[in-house]
Structure 1
Amino acid sequence: MGQAPRIALDAMGGDGGPATTIAGAALALTRGESVQFTLFGDEVAIRAEMAKHPILAGSDVVHCDDVITGEDKPSQAIRRTKTSSMGRAILAVKEGEASAAMSAGNTGAMMAMAKLSLRTMHGIDRPALAALMPTLGDNDLVMLDLGANTECDARNLVEFAVMGAAYSRAAAGVACPRVRLLNIGTEELKGTGELKEAAAALRAQDSGDWTFEGFIEADRLGRGEVDVVVTDGFSGNIALKSIEGTARFITDLLRRAFSSSLRSKAGFLLSRPAFTLLREHLDPNNHNGAVFLGLNGLVVKSHGGADAIGTANAIGVATRIASNDITRRITEDLDNFRSRAALPQAVA
């Protein structure tokens, strides 16, 4: 068995800072994750938190004075790649000192630094942000792009489909993922020119690694009828935030309803197991960890508001994709696709 992957953690990112990041790392090890850590950030603060979790005693710490905040613009963050905790974590991947980097910090800054430091893989026009989302089916749904690219041409969408299928096999364990494009209808005549062109290119392939099943509308995303959904970052981010907002609305509405009267409270006691299951299924912490696909290195984005459980889950995603060599899988899948069907030309 090979050496456990090493994850470079930006300990200063997210709402909880070092306390949440380090508690999450400790929880990941407690769960049995085969992983090593290098923590980047304020060494004094990091070691103070590590002292609360003896299981992390063997982890490395790299001191960084600089921290990227949520207010920093990507152009500002890029200039601080070599000094900030986020930038140093990404550089550890570039320099071969870590298998993947993870941060709960500024998404735009993280994307800019990762793209500049790691560069896109050969043959990939743009990287995409992909995440696992809960469904009523047996497997989580992979959705991309979730905000890295607000505008995409047909070539981008096809590349996202190939990358998403590879990620579904590596992270969700789906042998032959079902792939669809997000659209305003399922009919072939509906949608933008880019969507129609991408659909035509995907239909022309006959891969045994994944299957293309046409278009899907947003109201069917959680039904378990598809394994990979592809869209541009603008629509994808809106869809993601809508799903997260609806989940919070449902849980808050149920909580309010169950506390409205003595009879409702009694009903809550009877239905508590079902309510707990629903809350856990809808909790974003239980599906945390988005991945920048298409780079020459692995970078995982944890939700800024994630707790220790969410952080541990994101570490689990980083560990799985590093262990399954997702970059190699994407390269092989793209080569196989190009050998069968020509990709649409990129828009100049």
Structure 2
Amino acid sequence: MSHIQSGHSVYLGGGAGAPAILVDALCERAPDLRDVQLIHILTFIGAPYVDPKYEGSFRDNSLFIGHNVRKAVQEGRADFTPIFLSEIPGLFQRDILPLDAALISVSPPDEHGFCSFGVEVGTTKPAAESARMIIAEVNRQMPRTLGDSFIHVSRLTHVVETDYPLPEAPQGTSSPANLQIGEHIAELIPNGATLQMGIGSIPDAVLLNLHNHKDLGIHTELFSDGVVSLFEQGIINCSRKTFHPGKMIAGFLFGSKRLYHFVNDNAIVELHPTEYVNDPYKIAQNDNMVAINAALQVDLTGQVCADSMGPVFYSGVGGQLDFIRGAARSKGGLPIIALPSTAKNDTISRISPLLPEGSGVTTT
């Protein structure tokens, strides 16, 4: 970490591929650093750098807010840049957010010297390729995913060998309301459809209701364990996809050890950067594209808020509009916004005449 200097802009690998040991090592250098900007999407590890004791050393800039930085953003101690996932790589490639360094986690190199970005290719690969310096954890437990997911070990400026398990998604149960939503959505999905869905109780509920479907495909920014179950049952086989037939296309992954084992060297799974996966025109090349996205609130004019509660930032723009547009352009496509109609034990309606003042309009 001695190569990180005051005033540097540093990208932190995201999702389940966040480099936990490098992050901790960077925080240990805090007394020697001033005004280091840390840029990242959603990460599934701790975020010690937003602790108030590091104020002045680090300034966090989240491109998608997770629970680990939400309080800091809401208190004004960290920043949030709202942006479509499809456009994040361009921030780095066009030097809108120039990067002095990227801290990443990759798989061990193969016999030809190529490391895989593993479970987080989407924004980490373009960030690393744009950074002046790449500091990498080579984690023995990072799966080797295929697709546009490789970097040669010679491109890595500094390497630390590590061996620890990746973060795993908590296994919860869906509420009765979400299970019913899942049933309704499953009825709308035709055989042979290509699906986009993320993680969470509503996507999980949809997957639980697809056991009578046939020949489903996957083109999504993120998938988890539910997809593995349907693949093992022969329901997901990608055989009728019209774009990347025979392949599950994604940007990043988050789930259990079962998922990480499934994707390791699995030729049916390809990971690509988000400027490709989330490009609405590429999404639309999938016939019968069904995009399922959640929201916090909708109003009667058709405005969808998915990233804030009034003026209070909560999550991020993500890929919702990318996939809504792509599915709408797809032959036979279907964009879906899904949410329970109420919140807080049925005391608050999520459907209102107009969104509350200050709400972000994610989709309209």
Query: Structure 1 or 2: larger strand share?
Result: 2
TM range (shorter): under 0.3
Relative CO higher for 1 or 2, CA cutoff 8 Å, sep ≥ 6?
1
TM-score (norm 2): 0.26
Query: Structure 1 or 2: larger helix share?
Result: 1
